[in-house]
Structures are given as structure tokens and as C-alpha cells.
Structure 1
Amino acid sequence: MFVESVVRWGVWSILLQFGLSVSAGSCPQRCMCRPEARQVICSGKYLNSVPEGFSSDARRLDLSRNRIKTVGRRQFSGLLQLQELDLSDNIISMIEVEAFWGLQSLRTLRLKNNRLKILPVGVFSGLSSLRFLDLSQNEILVFLDYTFKEMVSLQTLEAGENDLVFISQRAFFGLQNLQELNLDRSNLTSIPTEALSQLQSLTQLRMLRLTISTLPNNAFRRLHRLRSLLISNWPALDTMASNSLIGLNLTTLVISKCNLTAVPYAALRHLVYLHFLDLSNNPITVIQGNLLGDLLRLQELHLAGASLLRVEPGAFKGLSFFRLLNVTSNQLTTLEESAFHSVGNLQVLRLDGNPLACDCRLLWVVRRRLRLSFDGHQPTCSSPDVVRQREFRDFSEKELPRLFTCRPARVMDRRPQEVRVEEGTTVLFSCKADGDPFPAITWISSHKNVISPTGRIRVLPNGTLEVRFAQVQDSGTYQCLAGNAAGNDSLTVGLYVKGLPRNRTMPFFAEEGWVEPSNAQAANSSAQMAKPYPFDAKTLVIATTMGFLSFLSSVAICFVFMFFWSQSKGQIKHTATIDFVPRSSVGGGGDGGDGGRFTMKLI
């Protein structure tokens, strides 16, 4: 029994070795095979077509960096265990229908950097297990309906850097498990909303370097599972409709290197799950106060390389989880503590690359310089001269109260200003203030409202209050408030407007400017109608004579024309004779009566 077992074991080992050697020997010419890893490497072998003779148990086949032009029908049908196929960096311009038929185990297919222009429906038939497909860097013009319909397991589709001009509405039909889609650098001029709506499981969408100029309402409808949306390098994008992102539950949103001139507050207000927001490299000049409060879970805001001039107080009010602000490389002179909901939660602050004025407004940052991270980029003072070019870490705690100071706002001319005018008069109230930093001027009306820079009553850029064409209801007291980070000052002025008698006219404001009222216009019209008739008797005689002569000359011309016309027709009879039978005087018929005739002269 022992001998028989030894013999059987020897026979089986010989057969097994023989089988392995046969399997290992199935390797196409110019390719390198690795039987232990079940890999066939034919990369960079100057192949003009797909070779034959692959081992049937191969799991990875690399045909990249060759000169293959065509992939024929069922080209790889015998490779039932193949899991990865790489055809990148060839010159493939045509793939026949069912080219990958039989690759039932294929998980990854790479067709990057070829010359494909169109993908016929049925090209990807049989790839029901495929998870990753790379079609980037081709020349594909359009995705037709049902192109990917059998790829039910596909999770990632790389379709960037093609010549795409159109994606059909049902192009992505069947991709019910697709999670990541990249559509970088194409010729799309609008969001393929209908096509994208087929991707119910999509979690990440990347769209770089497009020429789209606006995001319309409902641009990404039905993408309820989308968590990351990346839009970058859209130089024409300057508008986002208020409901362009409605229905999305994003946690990450990037809209960078576009042409947005303001933070799109209306479009963002729905994104209550947003953690990360990047609006860098847009020409945004201000982060306004109290408009980001709906983003309850926001943790990071990146607005680097923009045109920021100021961050208003309350800009991040309500953001209790806010921990990182990146506003590097802007035009900010300061960042006040009042902009934040709680500076105690702030962990990272990027302020470098800004012309910072190191005064009391930035004292809160400097005092936290040891526990607040600047991400390796120290902020630097640009003014005043005494601290110019000094980094925040260079200041000692001892010198801070002396260097980081402010001078409170002070109204310079405090003389009483009381003006009494009649209706229609334009009035100016001056309010000049001084301080460090330079104070902001705000005017409060007699009705306790803040006066804006526009309208009939407005604040001029130099802080002067202008009341144009004063009216009785404008009477009252107006208050000028001058304020900066160190303190406030105020000045009160009075305006008293006297009404005009009723027989006097008052101008009123129309769209074109100040004009006279309609009753004055009616009076002017009546006055014009009461004027004497503007023509005298001599003028009337001349006009009548000229008209009569014109009439006679027209008649004469007509007669002359008729005369010559009749002469050209030869002799014309000027009389006509008509026979007739007179009726009986008694009645009845006309039988037995004598006939008669008469002659008629033609004129």
C-alpha cells in the first residue's frame, strides 16, 4: 500500500508539473509572462495588432504603449479569468461591437490616450462585472443612447479630455451603480442634466476646464447621493441660479478658477450638510455678514487667490463647527474677531499674502499665534512702518499693547448744523471724521433707518449726507455715526422743510429726473391753445391762390391728354340713334303701337 501511494503521488506530481509548464509556456512572442502572478506584459513592444496565444488563466493583460489600431469582434473571448486589460497609449481608432465579449470576469479596462471618435452601441457588451473604465484623452465627440447599458457593475468612469459636444439623454442608462464620473476638459456648453439624472448612485462628479457660462436652476436634479462636486477652470462661469444646486446633499463643493464676482449665497443656502467649500481664484471682493448661517455644518472655507478687500463682521455667524479659513493671497488689510461665531473653535488660519495693517483689529490673531496654526505660512505686517515686514511669531507678548493699537474715531467738526429750507431745495450735511483705522461713516434717518448710498436721500462717498429736493416729510434729526475698531463718535443735525403755497409748483421725481408736475404741464398746454391764430389775411389769400392754380393746371393737363388720345383713335361718332316702342296709354301690352326713335349727342 505504501509503495502504491508513493507511485500515485509521483504520477500526480509529474502531471501537475507538466500542466504548469504547458500553462506557463503559452506566452505570445515579444511579450513577457509571469505565470506565478498570471500576468502577460506586452507593453511598449511596437505591436501593430493584438497578438494571439495568451494563457487562458491570465488575470492581467498589459498591451499599453503599442501601435494597435483596431480591436476586433470577440478579440479576447478565450480569457475567461482576465480581470484587468490595459490598452492605453495606442492609436486605436475603431473598436468593433462585442470586442470584449467573453470577458465575464473583467474588472478594469483602460483605453486612455487613443484615437477613438465614437463608441458604437454594443461595444461594451458582455462586461457586466466591469468596475473601472478609463476613456480619457481620446477624441470622442458624443455619447449615444444606451452606450453603457450592460455595465451594471461600473463604479468609476473616466471620460475627461475628449472632444465631447453632446451627451444623449439616455447615454448613461444602466449605470445604476456608478459612483464617480469625471468629465474634464470637453466641448460641452451646458450641463447634461438629463443624462446625469440617470446616475442615481453617483457620489462624486468632477468637471474641469469647461466653457459653460452659467449654472441653471435644477442643474443636477435627482443626484440625491452626490457628496462631492468639483467645478474648476470655467473662465466663463459668472452666474449661478439660486436653485442651481437644489436637491443636492453635498459635503464637498469646489467652484474655483471661475469668474464669480460674489459668493453665491442663494445657491449655497440649501447645502446644510456641507463641510468643505472652496471658492478660490474667483474675483470675489467681500464676504458679507450674516449670509452663511444656513451652512450649519461648514468646517472649512477656502477663498485663496481672490480679490477680497474685506470680511464683514458676522461673516461666519452661526457656523459653530467652523475650524479653518484660508484667505491667503488677497487684498485684506485686516480680519476682525467679530467675523467669527467663536474664535475658540478656529484651528487653522491662512492670512499670508495680504497687505495686513497690524493694529488693534489683528491683536486677537497675534495673541493666539502660538496655539493657532498658520499651516506653515506666517502672516506678515505691511503697515504701519514701525512693524513693516515683521512676522507675527516675531512679536513678544510684552510689546503687543504698545504696537497693536488703534485711535478711536472722532468727528472733526462738531458745530451744530440746523438747516431751514423751502420745499425743492437740495441740502448737504457734512460729517468728517478721523481715527486709526480710518472710521466708517453711517447716517441714520429721523425714522431710525440706515441711509443707503442711493436714492433721493443718500450718503456720498466722502460721508456727506445729501437730501435732494427736500420735502416736508424729510424734516427731522439725522445722526452721523463714525466708528472703527477702537470706538465710535456721533453727530446730530437737524432739517426743517417749509411747505410752499398751493399756487406754486413743486418738482417731482420721475425716472428721467426731476420734472414739473402734470397740472403745470396742462396749464402750459392751455396757454398755448389760447394764443391768436398764427396766420394773417395776406397769407391766407396767397395760400388759397396757390391751391386754386394748382387745381386748374391739373385739370388742363387732363383735358389736353384726353384730346390727343381721342385724335389718335381716328374719327369718333358724337351722336347715337336709339329705336324704341312706346307703351299703350290704356295699359296691357304694347301690341299695335307705332314705333319711334330719338337721337342722343355724346359729350
Structure 2
Amino acid sequence: MCVAADWRRLYWWVVLQWVVGVALSGPCAQRCDCLPKLPIVNCSSRQLASVPEGVPVNTHALNLSINHLKTLARRRFSGLKQLRELDLSDNMLTVIEVEAFAGLQNLLILRLSRNRLKIIPVGAFSGLPNVQFLDISENEILVFLDDMFREMPSLQKLEASENDLVFISNRAFSGLANLQELNLDRCNLTSVPVEALSQLTGLLQLRLCRLGLSTLPNNSFRQLVRLQELRVSHCPWLDSLAANSLIGLNLTSLTLSHCNLSAVPYSPLHHLVYLRYLDLSYNPITTILSNLLGDLLRLQELHLVGAGLLRVEPGAFRNLAFFRLLNVSDNRLATLEESTFHSVGTLEVLRLDGNPLACDCRLLWVMRRRLWLGFDGHSPACGSPVQVQGRMFQDFTEVELPRLFTCRQARILTRKPQDVRTDEGHTVLFFCAADGDPAPLIIWLNPKRSVLTGSGRIRVLPNGTLEVRYAQVQDSGYYLCVASNAAGNDSVSVSLRVRGFPASTRNRSGPFFLEGWSFASGQAPVNGSQPFPFDVKTLVIAVTMGFLSFLSSVAVCFIFMFFWSQSKGQIKHTATIDFVPRSSASAAGGGRATMETGRFTMKLI
């Protein structure tokens, strides 16, 4: 009985709702559904070729999506003064006439996505003073014209992705002082529209993904002082950022992923003191250097996934007191030392999965903090040594840690004394081989205890050998080889004595050497460069003798010419020349011309 009563009650409630709905609905546009209580008019997927007549004037939302509309005529919606949302997506629109939306004073949302628009004329959006969201994505728009959005002063979000956009006029965004979000993903832009973006002084979020950018030049985002989130991703030709490309920005979130950056852009980033989120994933970055991210004082998250990362140097995150999340998964890291961080006490999430990790003493700090340190559901696994290969970090017991996570101190193998005595100009090699677990790092220190690099006349070869090319007297001294790893250091010194040439030989004029020249003044060459071949005295003598030889030759020539001219007798200074002038009569006339002889006198100089 109770069940029957409940069904009866439900039946009459349904009938009542239907009767009330019919009574309040009134007439509706043909082939559309009206929901008067909301009030909403749904004309989606009705194969309409034009905007239907009879839409109630009190409609708040009109859905005309997935139809066959091709043109929007002028003032087609002028009677719908209470309309808040208009959806024209998924049609065949190619033309929007000027003032097509005039009269929609209260419209807040306008959707025009997935149509066939190639150009939107200036004035098409006139009469829309309150629109806050505009979606023109997935069209075929080629250019944004000047003042195209000028009559939409309340616009806050512009979705313009996936167009054929190749050019944005300098004043295309004029009037959009309240725009907060702009999406230009998947367009054909090859450079940042600097002038156009400078109009958007209130912009908070900007997306520039899947574009043809090859670089970010200086002042790319000038005037965007309120911008908080910048996303530039999937730009395979973007391999560099100019030093001042991000100048003027006060970002809290920056994404530069799926590009071709070969190094962390330290210089463009250093002034972003409010940055909290940084994503550099899927760039060919192999190293994070030490002490170069310290200016990002508020940085909390760094994502560097799938970058081929080989090494994170100690001190890489020094001064980052709020650093809480590091994601370096799917790289080629063998380890991550505790000294990398300013403080591991603030670290909450560490993603190391997908790396060939060497489970030794360098990762012991991670194992001891694994109860408090989150792996975001992706526990790391050991890549080596063999006895623990493949084991997840969470599988180890506390008893095993001291026995398995160990290191063997670095030890130099080449202990044989290396004391070399040689003459200037020769090349000398010093050998330094070491072993340990993990493999030790070998560095060389010169006699002044400065670290030597892999370049220059005195350099360290990749196998740890020290090469001194074209040895000079000032290279003499004791060099120190240091091998170090996480377990400790070892060192050995070698000796080099370089004998210079005798002083008497150095003071001679014009000594020549195979590779260059040498000053006799006693000035030492710099960085292996060869000195000049002559001293000052030699040069003065050579120049004087050459000048005197030249004057002697000229004097002999003049004397010879003088005596030769005297042997020829008196020289005449004038000459008389006889000549026959051309006849004034024409030979063709049949007459005989009279020939007269002329004479003139020429003075010889």
C-alpha cells in the first residue's frame, strides 16, 4: 500500500511539472528546445542554415552550435537584450558583418570556435561592451587587424588558438586594458608580437605554445608588468633566449618545455625573484650548474623531466630556502647529492624515477628521509650495483642501508715519481689515474694552486693526463693531481723544471726559432706566445744601413748620367720639324691640288 501511494504521488508531481512548463513556456523558435525556467534556448544540431526566428526575448543562453550557418548578418540578434551567452561554434561561418552582434548589451560569453573564418572585420564586435570571454579558436584567421577588439573593453579572456595566424598588427589589442588571459597556441607566428602585446598592460596569463619561434629577443614582453604566468612550449626551433628577453616581468610561473634549449637560461631568469614554479622539461639540458639559481629566492618547484640530464652539481639549489619539489624523472642521473640543496628539510617531493641511479653512499640521505619525503607515487629504483639492481627504494630495510649504500674512497694509482727536466719549447705529459666507488673526479692544480681546465697551453686531457705544451721557464714548479669522490680525496704532486736558453744567446740580434721569435730584452712571453725576433738596437742598425744604401745608389746614378751627357757634346734645346699639310682641294673633283710645305720649331725640356 505504501509503495502504491508513493508511485501515485510521483505520477501527479510529474504531470504538474509538465502542465506548469507548458503554461509558462509560450512560443519557441522553430526546431529549437526552450527551457523557460532557466531560460535557455537550445538549437544545437538542428541543421539550421540561418539564425531562427522566434527566439524569446528573455532568453539568457542561446545555443546554435553544430549547424550550417555561413553568414551572420548585421543586427541579427538585436532583439535579445537579455542574452548572456551565445554559442555559434561548429558551424560554417565565413563572414561576420559589421555590427552583427549589435544590441547584445548584456552578453558575457561569445563562442565562435571551429568555423571557417579567415578574417574578422573591424567593427564586427561592436555593441558588445560587457563580453568577458571570447572564443575564436580553431578557425582559419590569418591576421588580427588594428582595433579589431576595440569595442570589447570588458574582455577578460581571449581564446585564439589553432588559427592560421601569421601577423598581429601593432594595435590589434588596443582597448583591451582588462584582458587577463590570452591563448595564441598552434598558430603560424614565427616571432613574438612585441608591439601588440605591449597594449595588454593588465594581462595575467599568456600562452605561446606550438609556434615557429626560434628565439626570444630582448624586451619580448615589455609593458606586461602584471603578467604572472607565461607558457612557451613545443617550439622545436627555440634554442636560445636573449639575456633580457624576460626583462620587466614579475612572473610566478614560467614554462619553457619541449623546446631546444641546451642549457638552463640562467641569465634571463636571474631577476625573477617572485618565481615559484619553473618547468624546463624536455629540453636537451645535460647539467644544472652550481650557484646560478640562487637569485630565484622564492622558487618552490622545478620540473626538468626527460631532458637527458646527466649531472646536478653540488650547490645547484643553494639559497632556495622555500624549495619543496624537484622533478627530474626520466633522465640519465646516476646520483643526486645532499649538498645540491640549500636545505633538504624543506623538500617535500622528489621525483627520481626513470634514472639509472647508483645506490651508494651519495643517495643514503634519500633513503633515510623516505618516510617523510614523497615520491609522488613513483618510487625510484636502483640501476647499480648489480646486487641491488632493480630494487625499489621503498623495499630496503633500515638494517640493510649501512651495508649496501656504501662508497670506496678515491685512490690514485700512478704513484711513481714524475720529476721532469726539459728545455724550453718541448711538450711534457704527466699521468694521473685513479679508482674508487663512485668513480673519482680528477683535477689538476698549477704551482699557484689554481685549477687547470681542459683548454689552453697547459690543459687537462679527458683521461686525466696533464699536458704542458711548448714548456716555458715560468711553467716550472710543483703540480698537484687531486682525485675525489663522495668517500674522500687522494692527491699526488709532480715536478717540472724548464731550462731556458743562455742569456748570451738571448741578447744576440736576430735569433730565429722553429715556432716563433724571441725578444732579447728579457721580457717573458705570455701564454706560450713567441717573442719578437730582434732587439731594438738591431732594428735601428738595419734600418740605418738600408737607408744609406739607398742614398748611395741614387747618387751613383746621377753621377753616371752627368758624365754620360758630357761625352755627347753640347745638347740642343730646340728642334725644327718640316711637315706637309693636307690638301684643301678634293681629289674627287678631278683637279690637281697644289702641295705646300710647312715648318714649326719645338722647344725641348
Q: When the two structures are superposed, what TM-score results if normalisation uses the length of structure 1?
A: 0.83
Report the equivalent of 1:391: 392
Q: Offset at 1:41?
A: 0.3
Q: Does 1:277 align with 2:278?
A: yes
Q: Offset at 1:26?
A: 3.0
Report the equivalent of 1:114: 115
Q: Does 1:575 align with 2:576?
A: no
Q: Distance in 2 between matches of 1:93 and 1:448?
A: 74
Q: Distance in 2 between matches of 1:338 and 1:58?
A: 64
Structure 1 pair 512–483 and aligned structure 2 pair: CA distance change class (3 A): closer
Q: Secondary structure at the match of 1:343?
A: coil
Report the equivalent of 1:165: 166
Q: Offset at 1:20?
A: 9.7
Q: Distance in 1 between matches of 2:441 and 2:532?
A: 39
Q: Distance in 2 between matches of 1:446 and 1:253?
A: 46
Q: Distance in 2 between matches of 1:75 and 1:272?
A: 51
Report the equivalent of 1:197: 198
Report the equivalent of 1:239: 240
Q: Secondary structure at the match of 1:483?
A: strand
Report the equivalent of 1:224: 225
Q: Secondary structure at the match of 2:339?
A: helix
Structure 1 pair 86–449 and aligned structure 2 pair: CA distance change class (3 A): same
Q: Does 1:493 align with 2:494?
A: yes
Q: Distance in 2 between matches of 1:107 and 1:181?
A: 17
Report the equivalent of 1:537: none
Q: Does 1:462 align with 2:463?
A: yes
Q: Does 1:95 align with 2:130?
A: no
Q: Secondary structure at the match of 2:334?
A: coil
Per-residue CA deviation, residues 68-126 of structure 1 (Å, 9 max, x unaligned), is: 00000001000000000000000000000000001000000000000111111100001
Structure 1 pair 447–511 and aligned structure 2 pair: CA distance change class (3 A): closer
Report the equivalent of 1:52: 53
Retained in 1: the 8 A contact 2:472–2:528? no
Structure 1 pair 505–338 and aligned structure 2 pair: CA distance change class (3 A): farther
Retained in 2: the 8 A contact 1:505–1:516? no
Q: Distance in 2 between matches of 1:457 and 1:40?
A: 82
Aligned CA RMSD, in angstroms, stands at: 3.1
Matched pairs, number? 533
Structure 1 pair 508–165 and aligned structure 2 pair: CA distance change class (3 A): farther
Letter in 1 for 2:209: L
Q: Distance in 2 between matches of 1:398 and 1:29?
A: 78
Structure 1 pair 379–428 and aligned structure 2 pair: CA distance change class (3 A): same
Indicate the larger mover: 414-423 or 127-136: 414-423
Q: Offset at 1:471?
A: 1.4
Q: Distance in 1 between matches of 2:517 and 2:343?
A: 50
Q: 1:31-430, aligned counterparts within 5 Å?
A: 31-430=32-431
Q: Distance in 2 between matches of 1:511 and 1:491?
A: 28
Q: Distance in 2 between matches of 1:204 and 1:348?
A: 26
Q: Distance in 2 between matches of 1:315 and 1:573?
A: 112
Letter in 1 for 2:150: K
Q: Secondary structure at the match of 2:292?
A: coil
Letter in 2 for 1:162: N
Q: Offset at 1:345?
A: 1.0
Retained in 1: the 8 A contact 2:411–2:434? yes
Q: Distance in 1 between matches of 2:382 and 2:414?
A: 33
Q: Offset at 1:575?
A: 2.6
Per-residue CA deviation, residues 15-55 of structure 1 (Å, 9 max, x unaligned), is: xxx99979732311110001111111000000011111111
Retained in 2: the 8 A contact 1:49–1:68? yes
Q: Distance in 2 between matches of 1:249 and 1:505?
A: 62
Structure 1 pair 454–88 and aligned structure 2 pair: CA distance change class (3 A): same
Q: Offset at 1:266?
A: 0.3
Q: Secondary structure at the match of 2:140?
A: coil
Per-residue CA deviation, residues 426-472 of structure 1 (Å, 9 max, x unaligned), is: 11111111111110011111122111110111111011111111112
Per-residue CA deviation, residues 526-570 of structure 1 (Å, 9 max, x unaligned), is: 8xx9xxxxxxxxxxxxxxxxxxxxxxxxxxxxxxxxxxxx9xx97
Retained in 2: the 8 A contact 1:23–1:55? no
Report the equivalent of 2:565: none
Q: Does 1:472 align with 2:478?
A: no
Report the equivalent of 2:452: 451
Q: Distance in 2 between matches of 1:384 and 1:573?
A: 124
Q: When the two structures are superposed, what TM-score results if normalisation uses the length of structure 2?
A: 0.83
Per-residue CA deviation, residues 384-438 of structure 1 (Å, 9 max, x unaligned), is: 1101111111111111111111110011122222222222121111111111111
Report the equivalent of 1:588: none
Retained in 1: the 8 A contact 2:512–2:533? no
Retained in 1: the 8 A contact 2:457–2:528? no
Q: Does 1:440 align with 2:441?
A: yes
Retained in 2: the 8 A contact 1:574–1:601? no
Q: Secondary structure at the match of 1:139?
A: coil
Q: Offset at 1:514?
A: 6.8
Report the equivalent of 2:27: 26
Retained in 2: the 8 A contact 1:219–1:244? yes
Q: Distance in 2 between matches of 1:519 and 1:488?
A: 49
Retained in 1: the 8 A contact 2:457–2:527? no
Retained in 2: the 8 A contact 1:61–1:86? yes
Retained in 2: the 8 A contact 1:24–1:55? no
Q: Secondary structure at the match of 1:208?
A: coil
Report the equivalent of 1:579: none
Q: Distance in 1 between matches of 2:32 and 2:83?
A: 16
Structure 1 pair 138–513 and aligned structure 2 pair: CA distance change class (3 A): farther
Structure 1 pair 179–575 and aligned structure 2 pair: CA distance change class (3 A): same
Q: Distance in 2 between matches of 1:517 and 1:103?
A: 86
Structure 1 pair 440–19 and aligned structure 2 pair: CA distance change class (3 A): closer
Report the equivalent of 1:553: none
Letter in 2 for 1:349: L
Q: Distance in 1 between matches of 2:27 and 2:245?
A: 57
Q: Distance in 2 between matches of 1:199 and 1:42?
A: 36
Per-residue CA deviation, residues 134-184 of structure 1 (Å, 9 max, x unaligned), is: 000000011111011111110000011001111011100000100000000
Per-residue CA deviation, residues 478-507 of structure 1 (Å, 9 max, x unaligned), is: 111100011000111222222214055554
Letter in 2 for 1:387: V
Retained in 1: the 8 A contact 2:306–2:330? yes
Structure 1 gaps, min length 5: 1-17, 530-565, 577-598
Q: Secondary structure at the match of 1:496?
A: strand
Structure 2 gaps, min length 5: 1-18, 519-524, 547-582
Q: Distance in 2 between matches of 1:233 and 1:33?
A: 44
Q: Offset at 1:518?
A: 4.5
Q: Distance in 2 between matches of 1:437 and 1:48?
A: 73
Q: Secondary structure at the match of 2:185?
A: coil
Q: Distance in 1 between matches of 2:96 and 2:167?
A: 20
Retained in 2: the 8 A contact 1:350–1:377? yes
Q: Distance in 1 between matches of 2:593 and 2:189?
A: 85
